[in-house]
Amino acid sequence: MPYHPIVPSVRSFWSSAYHATQCKALWHQHLEWLADCGFARANERGHAEPTPPSGHEVVDLLAQFVHETGLVNAHLGLTSSDIVDNVRLLQLA
């Protein structure tokens, strides 16, 4: 099969690394929205130790996000489906 220049970009676009980046971006945007709506604890920070993988993609990404940023309320009011479905919609748009 001949090489096509779009293949690497498409591969990276659907990669787990891209997915993780978009999940983290959505959590940041969600916290901005919460802050704009007056939720005083939107930017509350705490210390989170790294946790062993749970096998649940969003839970593991959230644990990594909280460990990296300290933003403990990142997932407040969201379900895992909210995150995954929106990331997939962004990939399709």
pLDDT of residue 6: 53
**Which H/E stretch holds residue 7?**
helix 6-13
pLDDT of residue 8: 56
Phi and psi, residue 71, nearest 5°:
-80, 95
| C-alpha torsion sign, points 44, 19, 54, 50 | negative
Q: Residue 33 pLDDT more than 70? A: yes
Q: Which amino acid is at 26?
A: L
pTM comes to 0.78
pLDDT-based confidence at residue 71 (cuts at 50, 70, 90) = very high
Q: Residue 3 pLDDT more than 70? A: no
pLDDT of residue 86: 84
* DSSP character at residue 62: H
